[in-house]
Amino acid sequence: MDEKKDLHIGLKAELEEIVSKKNIASTLASGGLDVYATPAMITLMERASFTAVRDYLPEGCSTVGTLVNIKHNSASPLGAKIIAQALLKEIDGRRLVFSVRAFNGDDLIGEGLHERFIINNEKFMAKIGLNKNPAE
């Protein structure tokens, strides 16, 4: 049986996506232009943060996003390749703080902090009423 590695500061991940009709401001109703949407950039940053730590979590646990403090510095057109990077910079009990950045080529288009909390999947779903047996 593989042992889980210890969660530690410095874990990182990088994800990418292409700006397309599905992730532009006009499609997501976050603006009227055909440019990379801020919510899409934040989602990519959150995914990178989760990816950085998922293999280090205890069995039956995951993380949920609880805070974003992000600046979207410049627009990116259709066809651009966006790269999001996440770096775990703080662990405070179950609270994880990530430094996140997004790039279009060499241009920094967004940056900030993202916070996630480690949760027990079963307890979390039960707390919000989604762990009930449909037959009940």
**CATH number where 120 lies:** 3.10.129.10
| Rounded Cα distance, 111 and 105, in Å | 15
Q: Is the pLDDT of residue 131 over 80?
A: no
Mean pLDDT of 59-65: 97
Side chain identity, residue 48: A
Number of domains in the chain: 1
Query: Is residue 105 assigned to a domain?
Result: yes
- 45 versus 136: the higher-pLDDT residue is 45
Q: Is the pLDDT of residue 2 over 50?
A: no
CB neighbour list of residue 9: distance below 8 Å, 6 or more residues apart = 88, 89, 90, 91
Q: What is the pLDDT of residue 55?
A: 96
Encoding tokens for residue 41?
A: 């950039």
pTM for the model stands at 0.91
Mean pLDDT of the chain: 93
Strands 12-18 and 107-120: unpaired
